[in-house]
Structure 1
């Protein structure tokens, strides 16, 4: 759904990480140069404590369908791209 914009994106299920602790997922993302896209405030808190990498994209939209999340990613693609290269910011909040 978003591979045209973010071709290297993946999902935790693909890596067998659906049920791991937040810190383990954090370390996986850091070791593999992934950003974490989430609705979970815990990752935003980790970004505040630990900085990046990994970077965190935090959707503050409440529960949304996969289609709605893909639409949000598309609408904010330029902001996300700028965030990815900004070394001074660890977390991007999207409303």
Structure 2
């Protein structure tokens, strides 16, 4: 399972999650730091990514459009990257299960 890190998550985390989430990418690698949500959504949809974000924009979009793509919403406010990395790694099994097995839910919220 691969994640697409939204602009609100540091690109520096990408190399630190590759062992658990291989082939993951950061949005800045394809559209830069000014990526519009619709561009992120379409990129994730066309390449089978699960979007990893800290805001609720994709929650709202999934209510209208459904899924795929799926999204993981980290509810953690403005935290340091090490905290966010720990949050991801502590919940990696749940994230993987959600991304690969869950066929009903579009958004996974992790706090």
Partner of 2:34: 19
- What's the CA shift for 1:70? 1.2
Total equivalences in the alignment = 95
Deviates more, 1:52-61 or 1:18-27: 18-27
1:1-95 equivalences in 2 (<5 Å):
1-84=16-99, 85-95=101-111
**TM-score with structure 2 setting the length:** 0.80
How far has the Cα of 1:50 moved from its partner? 1.3
* Structure 2 CA distance for aligned equivalents of residues 65 and 18 of structure 1: 19
Q: What is the alpha-carbon distance in structure 2 between the residues aligned to residue 31 and residue 40 of structure 1? A: 21
Q: Distance in 2 between matches of 1:20 and 1:72?
A: 24
| TM-score, normalization by structure 1 | 0.92
Describe the SS at the equivalent of 1:57: strand
Q: Which whole-Å CA distance do the structure 1 matches of 2:27 and 2:73 have between them? A: 16
* Residues 17, 25 of structure 1: 8 Å contact kept: no
Q: Structure 1 residue runs of 4+, over 2 Å off?
A: none
In structure 1, the gaps of 5 or more residues are none
- Give the gaps of 5 or more residues in structure 2: 1-15
Q: What is the Cα deviation at residue 6 of structure 1? A: 0.5
